[in-house]
């Protein structure tokens, strides 16, 4: 029984810590963002969701080729 109580206590602390953390604000794709329609169709609706994607990742999205992928990466750098 003692182990169960301590396990429940650990879980309760984790829940409290998680509730105290604020989610990072999401920045929607700005108007005129390169490839916005293809990105939105693929589920990328925020700038944060695009961070960390490589050129190859972007090219794998339907409707985005090498030239547009480079434009997207440049636009991300300037944001």
Domains, the chain, in order of start with CATH, read 24-78 (1.10.150)
What is the pTM assigned to this prediction?
Answer: 0.69
Distance of CA 25 to the CA centre of its chain: 10
pLDDT of residue 1: 47
Among residues 57, 6, 27, which one has the least CA distance to residue 72?
A: 57
Question: SS3 of 28, please?
Answer: strand
- Give the angle 69-78-44 at the CA atoms, nearest 5°: 50
pLDDT of residue 17: 62
Per-residue pLDDT of the chain (79 residues; tens, 9 = 90+): 445 556 666 666 666 665 556 666 789 999 999 999 999 999 999 999 999 999 999 999 999 999 999 999 999 999 8
Integer angstrom CA distances of residue 34 from 4, 14, 25, 38, 62: 54, 40, 22, 9, 14
């Amino acid at each position: 029984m003692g182990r169960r109580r301590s396990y429940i206590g650990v879980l309760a602390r984790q829940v409290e810590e998680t509730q105290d953390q604020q989610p990072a604000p999401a920045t929607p794709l700005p108007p005129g963002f390169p490839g916005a329609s293809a990105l939105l169709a693929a589920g990328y609706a925020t700038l944060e969701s695009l961070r960390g994607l490589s050129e190859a990742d972007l090219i794998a999205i339907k409707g985005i080729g090498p030239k547009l992928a480079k434009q997207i990466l440049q636009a991300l750098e300037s944001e």
